[in-house]
Amino acid sequence: MKHDYTSLFIDGQWVAPHSADVNTVINATTEEAMGRTPISDSADVDAAVAAARRAFDGTGWSDLEPAARADTLERFAHELEKRSTLIAETVTAENGMPITLSVPANGYSGAGFLRYYAGLIREFPLEETRAGDRPGEILVRREPLGVVAALVPWNYPQALAMMKIAPALAAGCTVVLKPALETALDANIMAEAAAAAGLPPGVFNVVPGGIEAGQALVAHPGVDKVSFTGSTATGRIIGEVAGRLLRPVTLELGGKSAAIVLDDADVATAVGGLAEVSFPNNGQTCTANTRVLAPARRYAQILDAVTDLAKSLTVGDPFDPATAVGPVVSARQRERIEGYIATGRGEGARLTAGGGRPAHLERGWFLEPTVFGDVRNDMVIAREEIFGPVITVIPYRTDTEAVELANDNEYGLAGSVWTGDVERGTALARRIRTGTIGINGYRIDNAAPFGGYKASGLGRENGPEGLMAYFQTKSILPPVTA
């Protein structure tokens, strides 16, 4: 697989970049170059925003009947589905995601979001009338916000981009996508699908780039709304800029979620489920449940089971369907995670599984699935997002203490409760300050609003709430009578 992009998808065409800088994408498993793209600069961002502006202001995309936009979204979905294998394999090579996850999470998720929002916009009430204080009816309208800047990270590049693009396009907005440099290749495949689907020129544009392009896009005077997914540190910076510009912003940020195993849970079932919930995408998942809260009287049993689980996960080539854990995205990311493992040891946590690089893999940025026991919730490894295959197991004595520990963290993105009694689990889930939480598992759903409490972000994606994020609300007031 070799991808060689020398141009940028702007205004419905592949155009020569202004920037001469080249981004070489490295395969996380082989450590070899697998393709290249331009690194967009601020002049490239200007061109993309100008195209999106023209498409919004002049071409009629936002004035189309919702059903006509929905038809286009469905064609876009179809073109992505035709490329699903290529997309899934490209992302697996780029970031090391096991192919068994990449097929649904990259190959098909984008089409799923497009079809969901196409269905929603066909039915969505864009105007309603309301009785007010005075005689006459108030006309309340939902109007598309305008040009959307969508900035995404490298960990689930297709899904995270489409959680923004699909509702934005459905609402009648136009989009400039800035993918991360690590996963710029699959974003260009998305652009090829958009072109094949016949999206009008300028409705969707892609500027692969780093911080320069990101900063230029967020602050660009032609942008009406910023939707960002990435780290909390970058989200704070973007939130400050958006605040100064009074520009609407959605921020999907980091997490340090708790998996609460209740004392009535079947340990084998609960811990088996943690493979998907705690180690997804080699731990590079914002929703990863990296703090396992275990009842003190069953702590040893649960820690042993989690340790056995981590040791049983097959680490290796992410293209092998038997692989559960592939490499992390880059050498820098692996060093960062190793720093956290050293910190955990220094804090007195007990390493029960992993902790190093797998001896049998000479190339690729691999790390062993790692478990720390005897962890206190105030340790650095229990407080900060590690973003690798490293989890902590923390004891609690009562359900109330479990709730307190789960909530005693800067983040509030995801979580899960494991129990033999779904009603009891649901009651406990109500007490957790988090945007999404699962019972006996955790899976994101197109229809379930997704987003963070606290430092995990602002706003919601998915569901009708995700569509509302791309509208302004206007009230047309009735004639004033004496």
The alpha-carbon radius of gyration of the chain (Å, integer) is 23
For residue 260, the minimal CB distance to ligand NAD (Å) is 20
State which residue, 70 or 242, has the beta carbon closest to ligand NAD: 242
Helices 211-218 and 232-245, packing angle to 10 deg = 30
For residue 93, the minimal CB distance to ligand NAD (Å) is 17
State which residue, 97 or 218, has the beta carbon closest to ligand NAD: 218
State which residue, 187 or 305, has the beta carbon closest to ligand NAD: 187
Question: Is 423 labeled as catalytic in the residue annotation?
Answer: no
Residues in the chain: 482
Q: What phi and psi, each to the nearest 5 degrees, are found at residue 269?
A: -65, -45
Cα separation, 306 vs 315, whole angstroms: 16
* Residue 469 three-state SS: coil
Cα separation, 396 vs 254, whole angstroms: 24
Q: Which of 106, 109, 79, 300 is nearest to 199 (CA)?
A: 79
For residue 98, the minimal CB distance to ligand NAD (Å) is 17
State which residue, 231 or 440, has the beta carbon closest to ligand NAD: 231
* Residue 29 three-state SS: coil
CB-CB contact of 309 with 87 (8 Å): no
With CB atoms as reference, the residue minimizing the distance to ligand NAD is: 214
For residue 254, the minimal CB distance to ligand NAD (Å) is 3
Active-site position among 89, 252, 368, 385: 252
Through-space distance between the first and last CA atoms of the chain, rounded to whole angstroms: 73
For residue 262, the minimal CB distance to ligand NAD (Å) is 26
Which residues contact ligand NAD (rule: CB under 6 A)? 151-155, 160, 178, 180, 210-211, 214-215, 218, 229-231, 234, 237-238, 252-255, 286, 385, 387, 413, 452, 457
State which residue, 17 or 172, has the beta carbon closest to ligand NAD: 17
* Paired tokens of 396: 């609690």
Torsion (CA) 397, 399, 405, 409 in degrees, nearest 10: 170
Cα separation, 403 vs 451, whole angstroms: 20
For residue 228, the minimal CB distance to ligand NAD (Å) is 7
281 sits in the region (left: phi over 0; alpha: psi -120 to 50; else beta) called left
State which residue, 352 or 434, has the beta carbon closest to ligand NAD: 434
Which of the residues are catalytic?
252
